[in-house]
Chains A and B, each alone.
Chain A
Amino acid sequence: MCVVSLRPFVLGAVAYDPKVVTIWEGFKQWFADQGFAFDFVLYSGYEAQAEAHLAGHVDVTWDSPLCWVRTRRLAEAAGTRAHAIVMRDSDQDLTSLVLVRADSNLTEVSQLRGRTVAVGAVDSPQATLLPLAHLAGLGLEPGSDFTVRRFDVMVNKHGDHVGGERDAVKALVAGEVDAACVIDGNHLVFAKEGTIAAGAVRVLTRTAPFDHCTMTVLNGVDTATTDRFAKLLLSMSYDDPAVRPLLRLEGLKEWRVGRTTGYAPLEAAVDRLGFYGADGSILNDDYRRILAS
């Protein structure tokens, strides 16, 4: 007797915004139209998503870069491997900026010594971990050489919510802090929406390029199904009016084959700042406290 599995290919994603439901419901319908059984599970935070992934509750996860780092570490500690299969064009080669007010006398990074630097949420790779590690690499240890003022908006969402970065920039504009860390794209967003007046801030320093989100699978998931999922994503065309609204919501023009080279800066930052252990354990005390509260 032939048994046909009715189980769809299940994706895990984090509900950092109500639009996430719109996006994945739309994708689900689109996949169904292509004859591919797909469903999704939403998690309220990335840490639970990573752990559920390792537990086999889902087949693929839509991971923040930090979630990729933890999933990779958890996987290797468990004797398996994680694979970054597909990412957005807008996930590749991003940078984060340390902004200062244009009229500030800060012209060198070393002048941040003794000053206050605003960052995003404790678990924001782009607005906290990467820029703080960048400054550390330039000889300024966060917390000892300068004060870190954190804006913890929606912790456990890994900075997907723009609120922490916006609050950091507002504090900079208001003169409450000396510098603020944001990702390059949000710098332009904040300028466009008027949070930053034209010419009001300037870039003190910029991180090396890094990559952002990825679709992650672990060893053991059916390869043929995973390949079909990836190929379908890569076949999505921005010219197609059926998927264009979803791609707009998800912030991409095209999907690209995944790569892991762009995660090296974040892996290093996580180690340098003691955020996760090599086995994927959560080391940062503040983060652990918030997650437990």
Chain B
Amino acid sequence: MNLPIVDLGALGLDGGAHVLVRLALDDCRPGEEIGVRGSHPDLVADLVTWCRTQGHQCVPRGDGGADAVVRRGSASWAAWVGAERSGHPDPHTDSAIAAHPPAAWGLAARGSAVEPGGPEPVFRLDVRDEIWTDRAGSLYAQAVAGQWNPASAIDWLDPIVHGREIERAVVQVMTFLVENEEAALVVPARFLGQVHPHFREIQQMLAVTIADEARHIEVFTRRATLTGSELALSTVGGRASLQSLLEEPDFAIASFLLSVMGEGTFVSLLGFLERHAPDPVTRRIARLTRQDEARHVAFSLAHLERHVQHEPGLRARLASAVERRHRALQGTAGLNDDVFDALVLLSGGAVSPDAVALGWQRVQQLQREMAEHRQARLGRLGFSSGEAETLSSLHTRNFM
């Protein structure tokens, strides 16, 4: 049988010739040979050197027009010995997602062959049934397709024609929104680095959520200062309510409190602003951010629905988390009065008894809507209507 010959032309080992040799050796089994020829003056000597570093054998000889013969060693296969396929990149393929991916898979791409050994980084969130949802991939795709540019998606030059008091109300609400979105950024960010990279779609969804919140913080801040105003007051009560979210170490409970209860409530609030804000800039911002928030809520509901199926006792843990948070916040003031009044004012649209009465009714309606929707989401997690009503009533008056 003729020896396969690799012709390197004038290319030397000091210029990348080993790449062609390696490609040819890839088709060989250990012990099989290839011939190498070329016109580089140091070809054979450099080939001997390279083979020594790779565990191959090189014999300078002229079989069939070759300048040297390389016999493949076993070392270049070694990393494949015992290498384990780490699931599959397509999550819908059978066995694509491991129930408990080994720590040693670490940062390896899901579906890659993982050489055994190596570091075993600790990713605390490494149990499929505690974080996974089949919807993560499609929600991530929606999020990527729905990314909007604050500079172009909002016409910042649209006129603001309402009076100073109404504008002050808008600024107050924007100030409130910013600090809430900070919590919505920090909480998933804290968990993102704890997710085993095997659960890539969960990482991606958390990452894009964080990017969404970064953008929300930008546009709320820009709207607050659009007319030259200073930002309004950040209250102790508001920050205390959010602090209780930051301190929650359990991913399921944190997702539940932040997204199902908090961001879900914010979806109602942003819908309210989209309908009733006094200027087109604020209405546009509310519309864009509401769409993002709705996706965040859908993600959390999806993984919690699955989690509850695998761990029915989770519902009791979620319920007690709401009760615990309620007790912890009993000593705080709840929703900043200024925020509440601002919502009345901006949705009334004017400083007059009739306008305030209208705004008051709208805020009352908003609070009913918030509670109804919270109860509906709790129902999706398997809580009875009575449980849902009770838990909804215990949700922080700070909305988030």
Contacts and interface: CB of A to CB of B under 8 A. Distances in A.
Q: Are A and B interaction partners?
A: yes
Interface of A: 89-90, 92-95, 184-185, 187-188, 191, 196, 198-199, 201-203, 206, 238-239, 241-242, 244-245, 251, 253-254
A89 B78 CA distance: 16
B23 to A, nearest CB: 17
Given A184-B46, A188-B50, A206-B45, A198 B78 contact: no
B49 A196 contact: no
A188 B49 contact: yes
Given A199-B15, A253-B73, A241 B82 contact: yes
Contacts of B134: none
Contact of B13 (A90, A188, A241, A244): A188
B52 interface: yes
Contacts of A202: 41-42
B45 A184 contact: yes
Contacts of A244: 78-79, 117
Given A198-B16, A253-B75, 12 more contacts: A89-B52, A184-B45, A184-B49, A188-B13, A188-B50, A196-B14, A238-B78, A239-B78, A241-B81, A251-B53, A253-B54, A253-B55
Contacts, number: 71
Most buried by B among A95, A184, A201, A206: A184
Contacts of A253: 54-55, 73, 75
Nearest to B117: A241
A101 to B, nearest CB: 13
B46 A188 contact: yes
Nearest 4 interchain pairs by C-beta: A241-B117, A198-B15, A253-B55, A191-B14
A185 B53 CA distance: 8
Contacts of A254: 55, 75
B52 A90 contact: yes
A92 B49 CA distance: 11
Given A241-B82, A241-B116, A187 B14 contact: yes
A241 B73 CA distance: 17
A236 B41 CA distance: 37
B115 interface: yes
A242 B53 CA distance: 20
Contacts of B49: 95, 184-185, 187-188
Nearest to A199: B15
Interface in B157-208: none
B interface, size bucket: 20 to 34
B379 interface: no
Nearest to B75: A253
B138 interface: no
27 contacts: A89-B52, A92-B52, A93-B48, A95-B45, A95-B49, A184-B49, A185-B49, A188-B13, A188-B46, A191-B14, A191-B15, A198-B14, A199-B14, A199-B15, A202-B41, A203-B41, A203-B45, A238-B55, A239-B78, A239-B81, A239-B82, A241-B117, A241-B118, A242-B117, A244-B78, A245-B118, A254-B55
A217 B95 CA distance: 54
Contact of A245 (B42, B75, B117): B117
B74 interface: yes
Interface string B31-72: 000000000011001101110111100000000000000000
Nearest to B115: A241
A184 B58 CA distance: 15
A23 to B, nearest CB: 15
B271 interface: no
B334 interface: no
B4 interface: no
A188 B14 contact: yes
B178 to A, nearest CB: 47
Nearest to A251: B53
B12 interface: yes
Contacts of B74: 238-239
A89 B52 CA distance: 7
Contacts of A94: 52
Contacts of A92: 52
A198 B79 contact: no
B86 to A, nearest CB: 15
Most buried by A among B49, B54, B118: B49
A192 to B, nearest CB: 8
Interface string B8-31: 000011111000000000000000
Contacts of A191: 13-15
Contacts of A206: 45
A199 B10 CA distance: 10
Interface in B92-149: 115-118
A119 B144 CA distance: 57
A116 B128 CA distance: 66
A43 B115 CA distance: 34
A93 B42 contact: no
A199 B12 contact: yes
Nearest to B104: A241
A184 B46 CA distance: 7
A184 B49 CA distance: 6
Contacts of B75: 238, 253-254
B45 A93 contact: no
A198 to B, nearest CB: 3
